Structure 1
Amino acid sequence: MEQLHTIVDQIKTKLWEISDDLFEHPELGDQEYRSMDVLVDFLKEHHFEVETGLVNRETSFRATYDSGKPGPAIGFMAEYDALPGVGHGCGHNMIATMGTGAGVSLSKVLDQIGGKVVVFGTPAEETNGAKVPMAEAGLFDGIDVAMMVHPGDVSTESGASLAMDAIQFDYSGKTSHAAAAPEEGINALDSVIQLFNGINALRQHVKSDVRIHGVIKEGGLAANVVPDKAVAQFYVRAKDRTYLNKVVAQVKEIAHGAASMTGATLEISNYELSYDDMRTNKVLSDQFTKNLYKSGETTVLPQKISYGSIDMGNVSQVCPAIHPYIGFDQPGIVPHTTEFANMTVTETGHTVIARGALALALTGADVIQQPDLLKSIKEAFNKQQK
């Protein structure tokens, strides 16, 4: 839709200003008050109706522009949390700007083509992703397609991600003098050490896509005191939720066994929300890739193997969704670094923002204007659910 090229060109300077502003004022997950205000103000200027504080997350929002005419509902995601010590090393300032820019751009043609566009502000993707409770609360149930695009070193098609549980193990024992009366103590740290040993023994008996990695958050205060408290936190990941649940059950059995070996007591909890595996809708992904080329991209690589986890996975379980990457054309540049963060405010970063916003908007317009495309997208989604 040629009109969208003109619209994005008209607002791109504002989009760059927004992205640079978020870069200059990075905020951690669930603390993105300023970032939310910047995005919401821009959407309100363009006649979106905005709700904030969804699912008990103060920095979340839903911005809607409804043409009042029949047609699909197009959802764009905005992430805007930063990383401690690094700032926007994952480029969420760009993600927020591309999603918001796509929403505003698409809204300018909805009175012609029908449908509605919804921009979701989704806090804390890096830690406690708001898309999880949003999906559970049914916020995406009325959305026909959900899209976002993530900056990367190179452009790649939307692919998969690992399902993930974040599990905390709290062991409680009994203090005693470690030299004078060790027999009177119950060593909670020994439980954690046995937990690590047991998990290491499990690794050779799980599928190759499984990832289990953890740290000891607490392990005692003095070498001459038997530790009465020890805490370990683990991320457990697998290619799909069903198999992950099996592995998590095994890990918890190991944890209970470690407590039995030492006499400690154990409490198990989730210290962050669980992420489901990303199920890319191939039909929607292919359409986005076509539009990314139309937006000026020259090379889009096949989907890459990813061992990370994203809360967009939870969205993909309830509606057709994609999470492609748009590249700086800098192979090897690594996310979660200051080098990556600094790329977001370069001329290259600005070019990527305009290109990503346009590709998203074009894909949204295609879904609205091509009923057969939407039908194929939904057929592919239904097959994935079986």
Structure 2
Amino acid sequence: MKEIILKTIEQVGLELDELSRKIYEKPETAYEEVIACKLHAEFLEKYGFLVERNFCGIETGFKAEYDSGKPGLTVGIMAEYDALPGIGHGCGHNILGATSSGAGIALKSVINEIGGKVIVYGTPAEENNGAKMAYARKGAFDELDFAMMAHPNATYNKCSPMLALGPVSFEFHGKPSHASAAPEEGRNALDALILAMCGINALRQQMKSSSRVHGIVVKGGEATNVIPDYASAQFVVRSLTKTYNEELRERVRNCARGAALQTGTEVNFTDPDIYLDNMISNRTMEQVFCDKMEELFDIKVEEPSEQTGSNDAGLLSKICPFMHPMFGICADEKFAAHTEGFRDATLTDYAREQMRNTAAGLAMTAVEVMTDPKLFAKMKAEFESAEQ
């Protein structure tokens, strides 16, 4: 099966290059990925997948399925293709999506022999309240036994922890007054906001070191000689687990409540609905991917980097075992993501080679899981014992 998968990747390699390049040249931001969605859907249809467009009511989402008709596991492969505002594909989703579609086609080439089903999901808007959350909430992933993807990076690494992210937005209401003639008549909403931020700064001393709280002042007043009767701020809280995120967000809210008490103002909370679960990358499955990359291409996947962030795959990773390794696309200079250098690196010969290698590695990992019941049982045991 290894030879078939490698041959399939070789056969579709130029088309994968073209798919990545076309999406690079026409960057589309969150939920606007009309061209990218069309290119992926037509490409997968060409290779025998049954494609459902407008998936889960999202115009730029799709589900591409191939069922062997034989008993076996069902694997989901996530394809992203949204760009960043202004910079374009600074996160490399043009090459990420091509890698995922390539992996799906490679796995399809052997799935009639091993049994089971392969599904490639087109998942828009990872950079902005992404579609994977919507899919998960609507039960779209419930049929999966396991899921996977690989994200471009400067180097090959196992996945760093992806943090839970929750918003805390608040607004203070006070009483306006002339700041010089009658300051005692006012209730200063901006003072309340500043005190809340001081409290949050002090809270950072008692937070777990892996957690983050960061935010901005949205509004702080209109004129220097008028005591502000309204002020507002937006914060996000990140942490390794959903449980601790909820605890920490409440402590941030208490900073705002205390500030309102001190200043005689009122505080309201206006949190937007953008919660992201922490993502759990299944280390058992990820190690299989690492072994395959070393066996097939003599590529060593390093331990997770210290960099971390959040993404929209957290809820998916709590539905079934999921992996999200990083594949290196930078041959010499190691560009950081969300930069022009990283964006342009996706078009290099080196990046195209790693795209093909990674697509093959993902497909071979899926084959290993689908044909080894003991391995799948080990993955499930890790999944079920993971801290939420």
Is the TM value for this pair above 0.5?
yes
1:215 aligned onto 2:208 = no
CA gap of 1:13–1:270, structure 2 versus 1, over 3 A, is farther
- SS of 2:225's equivalent in the other structure is coil
Q: Which residue of 1 aligns with 2:137?
A: 136
> Aligned match of 2:342 in 329, 340, 343?
340
> Residues 267-322 of structure 1: CA distance to partner in whole angstroms, max 9, x if unpaired?
32333522222222121011111122244252211123343112222211111011
Q: Which residue of 2 aligns with 1:371?
A: 373
> Residues 94-144 of structure 1: CA distance to partner in whole angstroms, max 9, x if unpaired?
111111111122112222221111111222212212222322222222211
1:302 aligned onto 2:303 = yes
Q: Which residue of 2 aligns with 1:91?
A: 92
Q: Which residue of 2 aligns with 1:361?
A: 363
Residue identity opposite 2:336 in structure 1: V
Listed as ranges, the matches of 1:108-119 within 5 Å are: 108-119=109-120
- SS of 1:77's equivalent in the other structure is strand
- SS of 1:107's equivalent in the other structure is helix
Residue identity opposite 1:325 in structure 2: M
Contact 2:29/2:85 (8 A) holds in 1: yes
Contact 1:132/1:273 (8 A) holds in 2: no
1:12 aligned onto 2:13 = yes
* Alpha-carbon distance in structure 1 between the residues aligned to 2:156 and 2:288: 15
* Alpha-carbon distance in structure 1 between the residues aligned to 2:289 and 2:119: 18
Listed as ranges, the matches of 1:148-159 within 5 Å are: 148-159=149-160
Q: Which residue of 2 aligns with 1:121?
A: 122
* Alpha-carbon distance in structure 2 between the residues aligned to 1:202 and 1:47: 55
CA gap of 1:381–1:37, structure 2 versus 1, over 3 A, is same
Q: Which residue of 1 aligns with 2:174?
A: 173
- SS of 2:127's equivalent in the other structure is coil
* Alpha-carbon distance in structure 2 between the residues aligned to 1:217 and 1:27: 27
* Deviation at residue 154 of structure 1 after TM alignment: 0.9
Contact 2:4/2:109 (8 A) holds in 1: no
Alignment size in residue pairs: 386
* Deviation at residue 218 of structure 1 after TM alignment: 2.2
CA gap of 1:383–1:342, structure 2 versus 1, over 3 A, is same
Structure 2 unmatched runs, 5+: none
CA gap of 1:377–1:136, structure 2 versus 1, over 3 A, is same
* Deviation at residue 180 of structure 1 after TM alignment: 4.0
Residue identity opposite 1:308 in structure 2: G
Give the stretch that moved more between structures: 173-182 or 334-343: 173-182
| Alignment root-mean-square deviation, CA | 2.0
Residue identity opposite 2:159 in structure 1: S
Contact 2:293/2:300 (8 A) holds in 1: no
* Alpha-carbon distance in structure 1 between the residues aligned to 2:334 and 2:187: 48
Contact 1:171/1:192 (8 A) holds in 2: yes
Residue identity opposite 2:236 in structure 1: Y
Structure 1 unmatched runs, 5+: none
Percent sequence identity over aligned pairs:
40
Contact 2:241/2:387 (8 A) holds in 1: no
CA gap of 1:181–1:84, structure 2 versus 1, over 3 A, is farther
Q: Which residue of 1 aligns with 2:232?
A: 231
CA gap of 1:46–1:263, structure 2 versus 1, over 3 A, is farther
Q: Which residue of 2 aligns with 1:245?
A: 246
When the two structures are superposed, what TM-score results if normalisation uses the length of structure 2? 0.93
Q: Which residue of 2 aligns with 1:327?
A: 328
* Deviation at residue 56 of structure 1 after TM alignment: 4.3
Give the stretch that moved more between structures: 164-173 or 73-82: 164-173
